[in-house]
Amino acid sequence: MSWYEGLGIDAKIILYLADKGKVVRRTIRDETGISYAAIKAALERLEDEKLTKYEALGDYRDTVYWSLTEKGEKAAKILAELDEFIRNE
């Protein structure tokens, strides 16, 4: 899936999570090409705004899955509409 790059990394991650659901950072990196450091920083910013959340699983809670919150899902819908408008108008 591709998005209008002008929306920025945070928007790209929100749209990615809306499309994929719960994923680990490594998967985001592998499928989007965004650097691990940029993904980590963006997810933390988005968490601060209550747009993303994480769940640590595994024997040592070493596998962390990220997903959108309800607020994040609403933001994703708005961003998807904006992306569609920019790319198709």
Both ends of the chain: CA-CA distance in Å?
19
Question: Residues of 46-66 as b/e, b for ≥16 C-beta within 10 angstroms?
Answer: beeeebbbeeeeeeeeeeeeb
Question: Residues of 11-36 as b/e, b for ≥16 C-beta within 10 angstroms?
Answer: bbbbbbbbeeeebebeebbeebebee
5-88 has which CATH code?
1.10.10.10
The string of pLDDT tens digits covering residues 63-89 is: 999 999 999 999 999 999 998 898 887
pTM of the complete model: 0.88
The string of pLDDT tens digits covering residues 12-53 is: 999 999 999 999 999 999 999 999 999 999 999 999 999 999
